[in-house]
Structure 1
Amino acid sequence: MEIAYWILAGLLALFYLYAGGLKTVRSQDQLRPMMGWVDQIPMPLVRTIGVLEILGAVGLILPPLTGIATALAFAAAIGLVLIQIGGIITHVSRGETKVIGLNIALLAAAAVTAWLATVWL
């Protein structure tokens, strides 16, 4: 169960470090080609989402790796589930139901990671 956690958590962490990093450092004009929704959401909120994604990625890896506050891995995975629920809601409200496949896959992966993280609770 731990091996499955590390594989899934590692993949999610890499994805969210990249996506969160983009949201925190790139301008609205640079993000627009990849993320059309940035026009409808204030940039401070986009930056906050990016920071939360980075914190979620760190929370998936660092606590179990160090053995300190390992329950934070579960909390980080749940936080990433909530981020994807928000993403799905945003896309559906914009009429972009064809692009929610990635959101659904990330939501499922984060949910499974949360379940696997219960090994440390």
Structure 2
Amino acid sequence: MHLALWIVQTVLALLFLAAGAMKLAKSKDDLRADMAWVEGVSPAQVKAVGAVEVAAALGLILPAATGILPVLTPLAAAGLVIVMVLAAATHLRLDEASKVPPNVVLGALALFVAIMRFGPEAF
């Protein structure tokens, strides 16, 4: 189970690192074509979402890998659950129901990591 959790943590970290870095690197105008939600928020809010995603990605790996404050790993996973719930709600508000399933899958994987790392597979 420990190996499976590391695999899930790594996949989530890579996905959220890429997504967050994209939001940090690209302008709001560049993101608009792929992400309708950016229309209703400021550029600073887009960058904040990107920063949260990058921080969570690092939090999924670094604390556990270094042994420094490993409790941050399940907290990062729990934070990603919240991000995915809010993302799904945003997509539903914008009538983009077809974009909700990835949020559900990623949120479920993050929830799995949070539960297991807080519980039976804690560091």
Q: Under TM normalisation by the shorter chain, which class is it?
A: over 0.9
Q: TM-score, normalised by structure 2?
A: 0.94
Query: Any gaps of 5 or more consecutive residues in structure 1?
Result: none
Q: Distance in 2 between matches of 1:41 and 1:91?
A: 14
Residue number in structure 1 paired with 2:122: 120
Post-superposition shift, 1:4? Answer: 1.1
**Alpha carbons 1:63, 1:69 under 8 Å: kept:** yes
Question: For the aligned residues, what is the CA RMSD?
Answer: 1.0
**Matching residue's letter, 1:5:** L
**Alpha carbons 1:4, 1:116 under 8 Å: kept:** no
Aligned to 1:120, the other structure's residue is in SS state: coil
Q: Which runs of 4+ in 1 moved over 4 A?
A: none
Q: Distance in 1 between matches of 2:21 and 2:102?
A: 18
Post-superposition shift, 1:43? Answer: 1.4
Residue number in structure 2 paired with 1:59: 59
Residue number in structure 1 paired with 2:106: 106
Aligned to 2:18, the other structure's residue is in SS state: helix
Q: TM-score, normalised by structure 1?
A: 0.95
**Matching residue's letter, 1:113:** V
Query: Any gaps of 5 or more consecutive residues in structure 2?
Result: none
Post-superposition shift, 1:60? Answer: 0.4
Percent of aligned positions with the same letter in both sequences?
36
Task: Report how many residues are paired.
Answer: 121
Q: Distance in 2 between matches of 1:98 and 1:15?
A: 19
**Alpha carbons 1:2, 1:116 under 8 Å: kept:** no
Residues 61-81 of structure 1: CA deviation (Å, up to 9, x unaligned) = 001101111110010000000
Residues 19-77 of structure 1: CA deviation (Å, up to 9, x unaligned) = 00001110112111221111112111111010000000000000110111111001000
Q: Distance in 2 between matches of 1:89 and 1:41?
A: 15
Residue number in structure 2 paired with 1:71: 71
